[in-house]
Chain A
Amino acid sequence: MQLAKRKKKPKADASLPLINIVFLLLLFFLVAGQVSEKLRDDIEPPLSTLLEKGQPPQKGVFISSTGDVFFNSIRISAIDVATMSRADAGATKARCLAKCPIRIIADHRLEAVTLTKLLKKIRQGGAKDLMLVTVKGTKQ
């Protein structure tokens, strides 16, 4: 007597649970994370508790704790900030011409006096609208 050969059922792939988890992780990062420009490692913005949450900085002027001004990771003079960010905004996005606020990402250890001096220079260069970026924290 010849028995019909039992057809082998294809086994479900063992990697399916793994893929499920990876999918979940992907969804988590998609929903919870916000894409932002990498901040410089040497610059930590000051903490704030009372300010309302805003967008992560996409483009900004970095001021290190020693008072050096960086734009697009090039060290520049404070007086050129307005011109350079205007040129940059014009080159990348037409909607952001001259009116966009300039985001300033200053290190929290920077002397306040140095910051106000630099802000004065940035304004002398023609900047109108300045924003100081802070990180929302729970304690200071």
Chain B
Amino acid sequence: MHIAPVRSPRKKLSMTPLVDVIFLLLMFFMLSSTFSKYASLELGRTTDVNESPAQTSTSQTGGKAVFVTISPQGKVQVNGTPVVLSALVSKLNALHEAGARAIIIVPKRGANVQNLVSVVERTRTSRIKVVSIAN
């Protein structure tokens, strides 16, 4: 009697668990990822510059200090003269030529953090390297 050898049927690889896991991974990455680009503004280390800005910056650098005042609605004044935000850097560079070596940013009541950040990031690109925020 001839008995045919039992051929084990090849099982097809099941896709369902794989797809389940991929779906879960997709969900995780969709929910946890962010697409906003963040940046950070260094606020400096604790020094006495923050305690008495005018005094220390003049004594440290031997140059004049520029006062940048931020009024409500983000209006900027450099040493008392109103300046448009886009012209701030060129104005500061001109003052650098005239011997200014430090910037002191004085936010007035009514100016918000957005105004402060806009001014600080611009002053960082100017040639005057010592920037401090008065408090």
Contacts and interface: CB of A to CB of B under 8 A. Distances in A.
A56 to B, nearest CB: 5
A104 B41 CA distance: 10
Contact of B121 (A32, A49, A107, A110): A49
B113 A112 contact: yes
Contacts of A22: 19, 22-23, 26
Interface residues of A, number: 57
Contact of B112 (A30, A112, A132): A112
Contacts, number: 156
Interface string A1-24: 000000000100101100100110
Interface string A110-140: 1111011101100100011111111110001
B8 interface: no
Contacts of B122: 50
Contact of A134 (B40, B115, B133): B40
A131 B41 contact: yes
A66 interface: no
Contacts of B113: 46, 106-112, 115, 132
What does DSSP make chain B's interface, helix, strand, loop or mixed? mixed
A133 B40 contact: yes
Interface of B: 12, 15, 18-19, 22-23, 25-26, 29-30, 32-46, 50, 70, 107-118, 121-122, 124-125, 133-135
What does DSSP make chain A's interface, helix, strand, loop or mixed? mixed
A110 B112 contact: yes
A113 B108 CA distance: 7
Return the 9 tightest CB-CB contacts between A and B, nearest first. Answer: A33-B33, A112-B107, A116-B135, A29-B29, A51-B39, A108-B114, A136-B37, A112-B116, A130-B43
Nearest to B18: A19
A34 to B, nearest CB: 6
A115 B116 contact: yes
A135 B39 contact: yes
